[in-house]
């Protein structure tokens, strides 16, 4: 588990400002959901946190330590993307083990972690299969397993359910909620789906055009939206 602090984070691509003065304190073990319309900067903000994009200015701290200049693996963050890009020629076992092997973990550690991860995600019976022999939901769980296996302090999810059909979305969403209960790790989850945000979040951050419009618990945002924009997103009239 780890806390995360964003201090006046800004991101520009050339002359385009994509993230503006975003400040947030995320507690150890908190489940934070970023919502907002397409193009408002949700993925960029996650990528800045993960270290996949460089911060233009502002500071990012993990457990009080500035991490702006650390590489993604050095930050102890795992990330699950929207399109679960599994390695098609590798078994479920090898897909989950991939990051651990890259980190040159001992064979026995790799094996223990892969089996523990597979158990948590109910993939134990599928370790020898290739991705093409899995359902969409199973593939997405393997992608989650791959991010989890290194036991990151912080897990980031970028619209992880958007390629699943409605029934699988609900099931996988519940699995992610259980995962958070069991692991207690800090999670940041991006979605444009209000129901996902309302069900999963300890706290919701509403983004609009690169800045934070409002943050609060699902209930606070529902009962006291600060603007029409937030109300439109969270679903209560204002
Ligand atoms: P969201 O995930 O909320 O849909 P993104 O973070 O993907 O939004 O994008 C926010 C804005 O930043 C968009 O206008 C997008 O075109 C722009 N953007 C994202 N990545 C890049 C990039 N690598 N170069 C230039 N512009 C980018
Ligand atoms: Mg996005």
Residue 238 — very low, low, confident or very high, per pLDDT cuts 50/70/90?
very low
State yes or no: pLDDT of 235 exceeds 80: no
Q: Mean pLDDT across the chain, nearest whole number?
A: 91
Q: According to the model, what pLDDT value does residue 172 have?
A: 85
* Ligand 1 first shell, C-beta below 6 A: 13, 16, 18, 36, 38-44
Q: According to the model, what pLDDT value does residue 211 have?
A: 97
Residue range 202-212: mean pLDDT, rounded: 97
Q: What is the pLDDT of residues 56-85, one digit of tens each?
A: 999 999 999 999 999 988 999 999 987 767
Q: Which of 18, 33, 37, 207 is the pocket-test mutation for ligand 1 (most atoms within 8 Å of CB)?
A: 18
Q: What was the ipTM of the complex prediction? A: 0.98
171 Cβ neighbours under 8 A, 6+ residues apart:
137
Beginning with the edge strand found earlier in the chain, give each strand of the sheet holding 186-190 in spatial order. Answer: 77-80, 154-158, 186-190, 31-35, 203-208, 211-216
Q: According to the model, what pLDDT value does residue 39 have?
A: 95
Of ligand 1's listed atoms, the one at least distance from the Cα of 14 is 25
Q: Cα of 226 to ligand 2 centre, how many Å?
A: 24
Q: Cα of 97 to ligand 2 centre, how many Å?
A: 27
pTM: 0.92
Q: Cα of 161 to ligand 1 centre, how many Å?
A: 20
Q: Which residues make up the environment of ion ligand 2, defined by Cβ < 5 Å?
A: 43
Residue 236 — very low, low, confident or very high, per pLDDT cuts 50/70/90?
low
Tell me the ligand closest to 209's alpha carbon. Answer: 1
Of ligand 1's listed atoms, the one at least distance from the Cα of 40 is 3
Residues in the chain, total: 238
Of ligand 1's listed atoms, the one at least distance from the Cα of 210 is 10
Q: According to the model, what pLDDT value does residue 82 have?
A: 76
CA dist., res. 193 & res. 164, Å (int): 13
Of ligand 1's listed atoms, the one at least distance from the Cα of 38 is 4
In DSSP terms, which residues pair with 157 in a beta bridge? 80, 189
User: Is 120 in contact with 29 (CB distance < 8 Å)?
Assistant: no
Question: Mind giving me the DSSP string for 153-221?
Answer: SEEEEESTTTTS-HHHHHHHHHHHHHHHHHH--EEEEE-S-HHHHHHH-SEEEEEETTEEEEEE-HHHH
- Which position has the higher pLDDT, 173 or 8? 8
Looking at the chain, the whole-number percentage of residues with pLDDT higher than 70 is: 98
- 3-state SS, 19-76, equals EEEEEEEECCCCEEEEECCCCCCHHHHHHHHHCCCCCCEEEEEECCEECCCCCHHHHC
State yes or no: pLDDT of 1 exceeds 80: no
Question: Mind giving me the DSSP string for 85-152?
Answer: ---TTS-HHHHHHHHHHHTT--HHHHHHHHHHHHHHTT-GGGTT--GGGS-HHHHHHHHHHHHHTT--
């Amino acid at each position: 588990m780890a806390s995360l602090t964003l201090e006046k984070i800004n991101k520009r691509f050339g002359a385009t400002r994509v993230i503006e003065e975003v400040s947030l304190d995320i507690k150890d073990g908190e489940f934070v959901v970023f919502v907002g319309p397409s193009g408002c900067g949700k993925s960029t903000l996650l990528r800045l946190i993960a270290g996949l994009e460089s911060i233009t200015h502002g500071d990012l701290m993990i457990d009080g330590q500035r991490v702006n200049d650390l590489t993604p693996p050095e930050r102890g963050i795992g990330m699950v993307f929207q399109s679960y890009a599994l390695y098609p020629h590798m078994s479920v076992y090898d897909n989950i083990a991939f990051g651990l092997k890259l980190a040159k973990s001992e064979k026995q550690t790799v094996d223990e972690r892969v089996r523990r991860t597979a158990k948590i995600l109910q993939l134990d019976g599928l370790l020898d299969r290739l991705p093409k022999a899995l359902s969409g939901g199973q593939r997405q769980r393997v992608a989650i397993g791959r991010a989890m296996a290194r036991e990151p302090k912080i897990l980031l999810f970028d619209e992880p359910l958007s390629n699943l059909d409605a029934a699988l979305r609900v099931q996988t969403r519940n699995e992610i909620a259980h995962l958070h209960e069991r692991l207690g790790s800090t999670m940041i989850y991006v979605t444009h789906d209000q129901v996902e945000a309302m069900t999963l979040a300890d706290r919701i951050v509403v983004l609009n055009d690169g800045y934070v419009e409002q943050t609060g618990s699902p209930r606070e945002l529902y009962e006291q939206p600060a603007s029409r924009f937030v109300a439109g997103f969270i679903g209560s009239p204002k």
